[in-house]
Amino acid sequence: MPQDAPAPGAAPTAEQLEPVKAAVRALLHQPEYDDGSTGPVLVRLAWHSAGTYCKETNTGGSNGAGMRYEKEGGDPANAGLQHARAFLEPIKSQFPFISYADLWTLAATVAVAELGGPSVPWQGGRTDYVDDAKVPPRGRLPDGAQGADHLRFIFYRMGFDDQEIVALSGAHNLGRCHGDRSGFEGKWVNNPTRFSNQYFKLLLKFEGEWKKTTLANGLQQFVYVDEDLAGGEGEEKEEGLMMLPTDMSLISDPKFRTWVEKYAADQDLFFRDFANVFAKLLELGIKRDAQGHVVNDENVEDGYRS
């Protein structure tokens, strides 16, 4: 085992992680990709790796990095995340001691911080051991075409409450929808590579002006186009903004709305709550002993069994 690798069963130390984090930071800025940053899709990778968790059956979650395999990776909800995994592959080759499950979740925390967001507490030690009995069935991730009941059904299953659902949804300050991935189109905020509370502000600011549209593929979303910025004939058009039906349910449901209002008014509060809830998301289903070491149901020494 190389000197810089953690002992079996132990999480990488802060010192060992520093070069890994630096490599992730170096990877974020990609002028040719989307809006110039791989950060948003890396955040989504971590979220989808963890957001399959079910507290009743203790299945799913980020441990095991099951999305590497077709059963989970081929879930249509994960379309596009192969790009995020491919971005991280050279880092995995450079630092083989870090598990995929740790790398995916760590990369998201690096991205959030680099893009101006809060520092999310993160603990390592996840293994890439896939326990067949814990592979989640497809269909556990949210469907953007639905509403508040669906959000509660999906997120209560993971053990989150209404406030946490709203805080987590604030990740839509980052990135965009891609027609060839989810079928939805566009970005939520004008600067989708800067983490802020703008998403909550815009939900409220354009309330009443968000227009429901039906895309060519039949999906419905809400759009806002500033006519003043839309440009005349032949001019370059300012891209409009979008919201998913699930995003809009955060302002139509009174309990969710209270939190949208709080987060729109107070970015510090949003950052604090987001950091806590994102950390909680990344820990779902992970059992640790008193030293913080991850305990798998089966005792595997290096945790890698594919």
Q: Which one, of 274, 211, 278, 277, lies nearest residue 245 by Cα?
A: 211
Question: Smallest distance, Å, CB 169 to ligand DDH?
Answer: 5
Q: Which one, of 236, 213, 241, 202, lies nearest residue 225 by Cα?
A: 241
168 sits near ligand DDH (criterion: CB under 6 A): yes
Q: Which one, of 127, 148, 149, 141, lies nearest residue 68 by Cα?
A: 127
12 sits near ligand DDH (criterion: CB under 6 A): no
Residue type, 83: H
Q: x/- contact string, 229-258, with ligand DDH (CB under 6 A)?
A: ---------------x-x------------
Question: Smallest distance, Å, CB 114 to ligand DDH?
Answer: 13
181 sits near ligand DDH (criterion: CB under 6 A): yes
Q: Packing angle between helix 254-265 and helix 198-205, nearest 10 degrees?
A: 120
Q: Which two tokens stand for residue 167?
A: 């805080």
Considering only 61, 175, 186, 303, the residue that binds ligand DDH (CB under 6 A) is 175
**Residue with the CB atom nearest ligand DDH in the bound state:** 175
Considering only 115, 174, 264, 284, the residue that binds ligand DDH (CB under 6 A) is 174
Contact by Cβ (8 Å): 183, 215? yes
Considering only 16, 47, 99, 166, the residue that binds ligand DDH (CB under 6 A) is 47
Q: Which one, of 6, 9, 3, 7, lies nearest residue 295 by Cα?
A: 9
- Alpha-carbon distance of 108 to 25, in angstroms, equals 10
What are the two backbone dihedrals, phi and then psi, of residue 112, each rounded to the nearest 5 degrees? -60, -45
Under rule CB under 6 A, how many of the chain's residues touch ligand DDH?
24
| 48 among known catalytic residues | yes
| Angstrom distances, CA of residue 296 to CA of 126, 167, 211, 241, 299 | 9, 30, 48, 43, 6
142 sits near ligand DDH (criterion: CB under 6 A): yes
What is the DSSP track for 74-127? TSGGGTTHHHHHHHHHHHHHH-TTS-HHHHHHHHHHHHHHHTT-PPPP------
Give the active site residue among 47, 104, 122, 188: 188
Q: x/- contact string, 79-118, with ligand DDH (CB under 6 A)?
A: -x--------------------------------------
The smaller minimum CB distance to ligand DDH, of residues 110 and 177, is found at 177
Q: x/- contact string, 52-81, with ligand DDH (CB under 6 A)?
A: ----------------------------x-
The smaller minimum CB distance to ligand DDH, of residues 174 and 203, is found at 174
Q: Which positions touch ligand DDH (CB under 6 A)?
A: 40-41, 43-44, 47, 80, 142, 144, 151, 168-169, 171-172, 174-178, 181-182, 184, 244, 246, 278
